[in-house]
Amino acid sequence: MPLCTWLKAGTTAAAVILATATAATAAPTPTPSTARASAVVTLRYDDSRAGGWEAAITAGVASWNANVANVRLVEAAPGTRAEIVIVATTGWPQATLGPVRPGRQVRVELGSQAVAQGYDKTRIAAHELGHSLGLPDTKPGPCSQLMSGSSAGTSCVNAVPNATERSRVESAYANGAASLVRTDGRILVDAP
């Protein structure tokens, strides 16, 4: 076989091997779900001082995690700093208005006075977490609006944010933590 045939065959084989190796080791092109996952803002919460509210907090967190894609609430490991500090109080529920950023801190107070008057604990927890995520009250409002809070009445047990509320949180955390603006630190008290 002539030398030029051997060189062509060898060059072709080397090109095939190089292309295969490059394709096998190259980083995959990000899919929309991979790109979205990288922009998720994880916020830790500490409910170690919210005795009696554990089930309501778990349900409220689950509601937000199921309804927004770019922010995730997770329980802080013991002894670590949390962005959302949740405490049980005897007064009316209240919270610092966010959106909270990683490394910053807001406070949620889950008040037993609202429960004593007949308001649903899970709705209260989800509502107050909504404040931490940057949502103000929308009072008066219907039960279908989580952020209508106490104005929806004691029979309202809806703990799921509606489409507008979900959209506002998604927008606040749209580009990860880099897009978040400084909060004004207002405390929103949810008394009727």
Active site residues: 128
**Residues 104/83, Cβ–Cβ less than 8 Å:** yes
Exposure letters 66-96 (e unless 16+ CB within 10 A, then b): ebbbbbbbeebeeeeebbbbbbbeeebbbbb
The three-point CA angle 26-30-33 to 5° equals 145
**Residues 136/38, Cβ–Cβ less than 8 Å:** no
Q: What is the helix (H) or strand (E) element at residue 88, kind and residue range?
A: strand 84-89
One-letter amino acid for residue 187 of the chain: I
Number of H helices, E strands in the chain: 6, 6
Residue 169 backbone phi and psi in degrees, to 5: -70, -45
